[in-house]
Amino acid sequence: MSAQIARKVVDRLHNARPALGENPYESLLTEREKEVLTLLRTGLLYKQIADRLHISEYTVKTHCRHIYEKLHVTTRGEAVHAYFNRP
């Protein structure tokens, strides 16, 4: 394969969109952030999430802040919608 063709292949792979049904945010969040987001989806309060995961409420809030930043949202509802209701 020539260098020119190889470069085109790499460029296309780099710019490829996620496959249909694939969550584009999957690779952005840590496993713990995904756990927190899943519990947010159930309607639990920060304190309840903290107790369930054996972490502090402050840590839950920190995870939420990181989730919001990564998903470009400002509320828990927007975060849940963005992550779980993708087209």
Residue-wise pLDDT tens digits, 33-52: 999 999 999 999 999 999 99
What phi, psi does 36 have (nearest 5°)? -60, -45
State the DSSP code for 44: -
Residue 29 pLDDT level (bands cut at 50, 70, 90):
very high
Residue type at position 27: S
What is the SS3 assignment for 14?
helix
pTM assigned to the model:
0.71
Cβ–Cβ under 8 Å, residues 61 and 46: yes
Share of the chain above pLDDT 70, in %: 74
- Give the count of beta carbons closer than 10 Å to the beta carbon of residue 67: 24
Please tell me the distance from the alpha carbon of residue 69 to that of residue 19, in angstroms, as a whole number: 23
Domains and CATH numbers, the chain: 25-84 (1.10.10.10)
